A and B are shown apart, each in its own frame.
Chain A
Amino acid sequence: MALSRLNCFSSRSANLLKTLSSAISLRRPISTDTTPIIVETSVPFTSHQCEAPSRSVETNPKELLTFFRDMALMRRMEIAADSLYKAKLIRGFCHLYDGQEAVAVGMEAAITKKDCIITAYRDHCTFVARGGTLLEVFAELMGRQAGCSRGKGGSMHFYKKDSNFYGGHGIVGAQVPLGCGLAFAQKYSKDENVSFALYGDGAANQGQLFEALNISALWDLPAILVCENNHYGMGTAEWRAAKSPAYYKRGDYVPGLKVDGMDALAVKQACKFAKEHALKNGPIILEMDTYRYHGHSMSDPGSTYRTRDEISGVRQERDPIERIRKLILSHDLATEKDLKDIEKEVRKEVDDAIAQAKLFVDT
């Protein structure tokens, strides 16, 4: 933007002007900049029984920065949870979301807090995206009263009623019928909102999902079923569990969309599209092609059923945070240092929250 015009000057004065400009901030501060930017998603959408939305997504610097910050926060939070678990401050089951952050963040960007979200046990980041605080997260994980469920739920039971986040469920697939019930209530009260029921590729084979989908389609409920396909149901790869791993097609009569779940902008576009669709035409299925770096839970190394090369390959090529970082840098929205500073900030936030949570008495 302003800086590129300085290229025609001599390098010395360019450097001088560069330092000058950053001091005076000739650029508009990106934290409030809503100049639209059009970005293309990494891959086009694949659709079933409907027309796919365009792969050109409208965004702006503020949103991109928010994406970066939120995902960095989530990433740091999950890594911190890993350490806390190994330090035996978190016990029992702990399922981490690192790698999948784009789904939570992209979805939130397309909807309001009046729309409902319900998910399974990999819920820490979705909770934060819905407005949950880090303190609530860590206090809950460590069994303190300050936790979002007062220490009584644990990792798999995060809820936030005032933001319409319905949890947080330990039994695979059981949350999908619940999610369709949420959609029914929305239709009943005619409030023009939608419900997102998230589940994994493992839960995609649950009968109750199809039962619930059938009723939702019959009653034209504004239910959006989102399959977070990280390709492994604990230790079982999707091709060994599903005769048809094309989860977006499994709705049969229900339309579906396959989305690159590692691309926050693609997720946002898909969720926006789905919300419009659900309000007019009833249920739709979104399949988010995503990946988890950790094993299924802290007790699963995650390496007996997949190779380390695969994991590091995805991290190198498809990492959601790296994608947004590259986008920000290539559009000159911030410098590398700015982004590193954000990451440092976020790290401090997480550490502070943990320290604060530890002060609370064990419930």
Chain B
Amino acid sequence: MAAIFQGAGAAAALSSSPSNSIDSKKFLFSPRRPYSGMKGASFVVVRSDGRASLDLNPKGRRAQQLIANAVATKAGSSAASSSSKPGHELLLFEALQEGLEEEMERDPCVCVMGEDVGHYGGSYKVTKGLATKFGDLRVLDTPIAENSFTGMGIGAAMTGLRPVVEGMNMGFLLLAFNQISNNCGMLHYTSGGQFTIPIVIRGPGGVGRQLGAEHSQRLESYFQSIPGIQMVACSTPYNAKGLMKAAIRSENPVILFEHVLLYNLKERIPDEEYICNLEEAEMVRPGEHVTILTYSRMRYHVMQAAKTLVNKGYDPEVIDIRSLKPFDLYTIGNSVKKTHRVLIVEECMRTGGIGASLTAAITENFHDYLDAPVMCLSSQDVPTPYAGTLEEWTVVQPAQIVTAVEQLCQ
């Protein structure tokens, strides 16, 4: 049985810092890089021997360059971090699959369980081909029994196995809420630190195209209160692969939120191995006038609005927060200190969503730096309607984002 190992850097940072109220002046997370506009994604690599290293100066290891954010950034930014290799193009679901496959090759303890993940190849093809390659014991087709198979995954994780549990749609995981909350989140605490639960729970969520109320849920708002879990949301093929790998390597239970509408995004990603920091936000577009915080699908609505805003003479700074729990208040704080205005654009409902928590966190920590109250654009507090026109109205649209920025910058 695999030894339980602690990723020293990440775990220490997590246990020592209370979630959302770090003093922005103190660096509590080890992989801090000075905010200078450099776009490199430095990361903590937790190696199989348990030592965490800040990977800036690799010696005696395969050279790992600082990989640039592959998303378009403002012209004139540092070019030092561009990758010299051309990389390869793929779709987001393929990036997830690549990350998963690499981790399964690397560590025999990694297994996948979920409905139709094996022979069928996954309802969104994320696990395609894995069953043929790794066999039925490592890629497990479960019956439709979320409550029980999530529980089994957690039990296996207690012994050191590293299951990746797929919810065919995140909404289905509500059936396993008891398991996720009480066992996945709290066992580490209630066992006095004896057990870690290195499980990854992943799946698509968010509002799709007329999938109906039950299949358009945003589980991040329900799960965010569960103590002991970590939540990340991917939005590009690049960060999808990176976050998948990091989540699997993490000793903590990580919930990886994918989005139904983003699976076919295409991007060129590096050939060489990389992971993304689970607790780090992504600078999408540096700017001066206003900080727009977003994640997952809304990132694209924000970027669409940003085009309009730039034409109107505004200079928005767009940050993809990626880490939903804990928030990367370091990156966010630095941005607030620069622009003094914050707009949050999210897909959660108005009540009790990620935006609500983020608003509170920013107000608590950076109140003195704000020139205007934090504005939060969220989905409406309604079950998502089936009819397309109604569905559109419940979700934040680019025009609303433009209006909000204009209001904020008066």
A pairs with B: yes
Alpha-carbon gap, A62 to B123, bound state (A): 45
Q: Which of A282-339 contact B (CB under 8 A)?
A: 304-305
- In the bound complex, residues from chain A placing their C-beta under 8 Å from that of B388 are 91, 143, 362
Decide: A205 and B145 in contact? CB cutoff 8 A: yes
B222 at the interface (CB under 8 A from A): no
Known: A151-B386, A154-B386, A362-B388. A170 touches B214 (CB 8 A): yes
A31 at the interface (CB under 8 A from B): no
- In the bound complex, residues from chain A placing their C-beta under 8 Å from that of B148 are 207
What's the minimum C-beta distance from B138 to chain A, rounded to whole angstroms?
16
B119 at the interface (CB under 8 A from A): yes
Alpha-carbon gap, A248 to B171, bound state (A): 30
What's the minimum C-beta distance from A153 to chain B, rounded to whole angstroms?
6
Residue of B nearest to A173 (CB): B144
- In the bound complex, residues from chain A placing their C-beta under 8 Å from that of B211 are 92-93, 154
- In the bound complex, residues from chain B placing their C-beta under 8 Å from that of A154 are 210-212, 386
- In the bound complex, residues from chain A placing their C-beta under 8 Å from that of B144 are 172-173, 202-203, 205-206, 233, 241
Decide: A171 and B175 in contact? CB cutoff 8 A: yes
- In the bound complex, residues from chain B placing their C-beta under 8 Å from that of A362 are 387-389
Alpha-carbon gap, A171 to B215, bound state (A): 9
Decide: A305 and B119 in contact? CB cutoff 8 A: yes
What's the minimum C-beta distance from A173 to chain B, rounded to whole angstroms?
7
* Range for the number of chain A residues in contact with chain B: 35 or more
Decide: A152 and B210 in contact? CB cutoff 8 A: no
Q: Which of A247-261 contact B (CB under 8 A)?
A: none
Alpha-carbon gap, A26 to B210, bound state (A): 55
- In the bound complex, residues from chain A placing their C-beta under 8 Å from that of B120 are 234-236, 304-305
- In the bound complex, residues from chain A placing their C-beta under 8 Å from that of B155 are none
What's the minimum C-beta distance from B58 to chain A, rounded to whole angstroms?
43
Residue of A nearest to B175 (CB): A171
B261 at the interface (CB under 8 A from A): no
Alpha-carbon gap, A297 to B49, bound state (A): 46
B93 at the interface (CB under 8 A from A): no
Decide: A143 and B214 in contact? CB cutoff 8 A: no
What's the minimum C-beta distance from B167 to chain A, rounded to whole angstroms?
12
Decide: B208 and A207 in contact? CB cutoff 8 A: no
Alpha-carbon gap, A242 to B115, bound state (A): 13
Residue of B nearest to A152 (CB): B385
B147 at the interface (CB under 8 A from A): yes
Interface SS, B side: loop
What's the minimum C-beta distance from B30 to chain A, rounded to whole angstroms?
42
Q: Which of B104-158 contact A (CB under 8 A)?
A: 115-116, 119-120, 123, 141, 143-145, 147-148
Alpha-carbon gap, A92 to B391, bound state (A): 12
Residue of B nearest to A145 (CB): B387
A240 at the interface (CB under 8 A from B): yes
Residue of A nearest to B384 (CB): A152
- In the bound complex, residues from chain A placing their C-beta under 8 Å from that of B47 are none
Q: Which of B142-198 contact A (CB under 8 A)?
A: 143-145, 147-148, 171-172, 175
B54 at the interface (CB under 8 A from A): no
Residue of A nearest to B141 (CB): A236
Residue-wise interface mask of B (32-66) relative to A, using a CB-CB cutoff of 8 A (1 in contact, 0 not): 00000000000000000000000000000000000
A363 at the interface (CB under 8 A from B): yes
Known: A143-B210, A170-B215, A173-B144. A234 touches B115 (CB 8 A): yes
Alpha-carbon gap, A86 to B386, bound state (A): 17
- In the bound complex, residues from chain B placing their C-beta under 8 Å from that of A173 are 144
What's the minimum C-beta distance from A304 to chain B, rounded to whole angstroms?
7
- In the bound complex, residues from chain B placing their C-beta under 8 Å from that of A157 are 212-213, 386
Decide: B389 and A156 in contact? CB cutoff 8 A: no
Alpha-carbon gap, A157 to B213, bound state (A): 10
Other than the given A236-B141, A241-B144, A363-B387, 4 more pairs (CB < 8 A) read: A152-B213, A152-B387, A157-B212, A242-B143
A interface residues (Cβ-Cβ under 8 A, vs B): 91-93, 143-144, 149, 151-157, 170-174, 202-203, 205-208, 233-236, 240-242, 304-305, 362-363
Q: Which are the 4 A-B pairs with shortest beta-carbon distances? A: A154-B386, A143-B387, A235-B120, A205-B143
B interface residues (Cβ-Cβ under 8 A, vs A): 115-116, 119-120, 123, 141, 143-145, 147-148, 171-172, 175, 208-215, 383, 385-390
